[in-house]
Amino acid sequence: MTKRKPPDHCQGQKEQQDPHKQEGQPDPDGQEEQADAGKQEAQHVSGEQEGPHDADGQEEQELYEHHHFVVDRGQGMLRIDKYLHARIVNSSRNKIQVAARAGNILVNGNAVKPNYKVKPMDEISIVMAYPPREIELIPEDIPLNILFEDDHLIIINKEAGMVVHPGYGNYSGTLVNALVYHFENLPRQNQEDTRPGLVHRIDKNTSGVMVIAKTELAQTRLARMFFYREISRIYHALVWGDFAEEEGTIEGHIGRSLKNRKVMDVFPGGEFGKAAITHYRVLERFGYVTLVECRLETGRTHQIRAHFQHIRHPLFNDETYGGDKILKGTTFTKYKQFVANCFNMLPRHALHAKTLGFAHPISGKQLFFDSEPAPDMQAVLAKWRGYAVHRSIEEE
């Protein structure tokens, strides 16, 4: 573990953040897919709206604009609660309906009910009596496992459970909070950027290797490498089921699910989402679960998790994608207890970003970094190895 003394003038940096929207780091190969693919995106701006004044000149309660949309010219008539639910991440139709009944959804300046049908070129605003939540980049003394550092970049082994950057519901304790404590003047796209130095990210409950840029030039070149797929990334995943083959490739566009906007789905026909390719190779077979190596050609949100769920091999204990149930094995009570114990030992999806390889953005020297899975994943792998050996002896 490496700790660093904070800079003398290390102070928080603020950004206005919509409390109803969780921002995501863009895919290394492009922006994440937006709702209603195939249509033009609604214009979306955020800012403050001054409250009206009454006849006596006293200002009424100030309303703050949290979302602003201009309906596309080709949009058909659609209930406004459905229209907004498809465009606001982490929203629910119930919350939108409550906001409408409270008079907080305005169309062309007038409050509307949840069943209002949007029309082309309508201007929609969601206003609240409180300002958008401010995100303050507060330096926090959180230890980092640093594998490599020079004047241009940092390689870390991120622990499982750590969110990469602040967002809705995670305002502290993130990797970025630790980075701004340990490192001064990390590059930022602008003053409102809450992701200094980041060029990619991995999920909260995924452990493993990440690269952080220390300079603007390094950040720009690393981002280009991700875009042109010049960075080698290998993950290890424990998935349900066995495979007939030793290796294979999963192809299928990935985009937000049309049924649940909080998860990603695979669209084999390419009608939604963005192209995604995952190559895999079997490393160890344990009968009912398999350890696989995954090599990414693209870097879509939840790519490995969504792809393996699509081929009916969800990651072990992946609650979001259906891997938190016993999907293979026997009906014996001892086996059920064994799997339950494994779930308790590894209370997250079994995924580790094991290696990262690329040319140094400044010197051009080839770099390669490797890391071992987190202790909880190693412990579960050891349990399954023991189970597989015991099962093999019983069958002889």
The pLDDT of residue 195 is 84
- 3-class state of residue 180 by DSSP: helix
Taking the C-alpha atoms of residue 235 and residue 130, their distance in angstroms, rounded to an integer, is: 43
In the chain, residues under CATH classification 3.30.2350.10 are: 136-228, 230-396
Which phi and psi angles does 86 have, rounded to 5°?
Answer: -75, -15
CATH architecture of the domain 136-228 equals: 2-Layer Sandwich (3.30)
| Confidence check: pLDDT of 58 > 50 | no
| Confidence check: pLDDT of 363 > 90 | yes
Query: How does residue 60 score in pLDDT terms, banded at 50, 70 and 90?
Result: very low
Residue 252's alpha-carbon distances to 26, 310, 349, in angstroms, are: 19, 9, 21
Token code pair at residue 232: 């080698």
Closest CA relative to residue 36, chosen from 255, 302, 251: 255
Segment 136-154, tens digit of pLDDT: 788 899 999 999 999 999 9
Taking the C-alpha atoms of residue 162 and residue 222, their distance in angstroms, rounded to an integer, is: 23
Residue 202's alpha-carbon distances to 141, 160, 354, in angstroms, are: 21, 10, 12
Segment 245-268, tens digit of pLDDT: 999 999 999 999 988 888 999 999
Length of the chain: 396
User: Which one-letter amino acid corresponds to residue 363?
Assistant: S
The pLDDT of residue 102 is 76
Helix (H) / strand (E) containing 393 = helix 375-395
The pLDDT of residue 176 is 92
The pLDDT of residue 51 is 30
Provide the CA 288 distance to its chain's centre, in angstroms. 28
Higher pLDDT among residues 318 and 271, named by residue: 318
Higher pLDDT among residues 131 and 58, named by residue: 131
Taking the C-alpha atoms of residue 263 and residue 266, their distance in angstroms, rounded to an integer, is: 10
CATH architecture of the domain 15-128 equals: Roll (3.10)
Taking the C-alpha atoms of residue 135 and residue 19, their distance in angstroms, rounded to an integer, is: 10
Taking the C-alpha atoms of residue 301 and residue 264, their distance in angstroms, rounded to an integer, is: 7
Query: How does residue 63 score in pLDDT terms, banded at 50, 70 and 90?
Result: low
Q: How many CB atoms lie within 10 A of CB 131?
A: 14
Assess contact for 288 and 241: CB atoms under 8 A.
yes
Query: How does residue 74 score in pLDDT terms, banded at 50, 70 and 90?
Result: confident
| Confidence check: pLDDT of 131 > 80 | no
Q: Hey, which residues does 368 pair with through a beta bridge?
A: 357
Token code pair at residue 111: 């409050």
- SS3 labels along 332-371: CHHHHHHHHHHHHHCCCCCEEEEEEEEECCCCCCEEEEEC
The three-point CA angle 91-257-193 to 5° equals 55
Q: Does the predicted TM-score (pTM) go above 0.85? A: no
The three-point CA angle 25-26-31 to 5° equals 155
| Confidence check: pLDDT of 187 > 80 | yes
Taking the C-alpha atoms of residue 100 and residue 367, their distance in angstroms, rounded to an integer, is: 54
Taking the C-alpha atoms of residue 171 and residue 177, their distance in angstroms, rounded to an integer, is: 9
Active site residues: 203
* Fold topology of 230-396: Pseudouridine synthase (3.30.2350)
In the chain, residues under CATH classification 3.10.290.10 are: 15-128
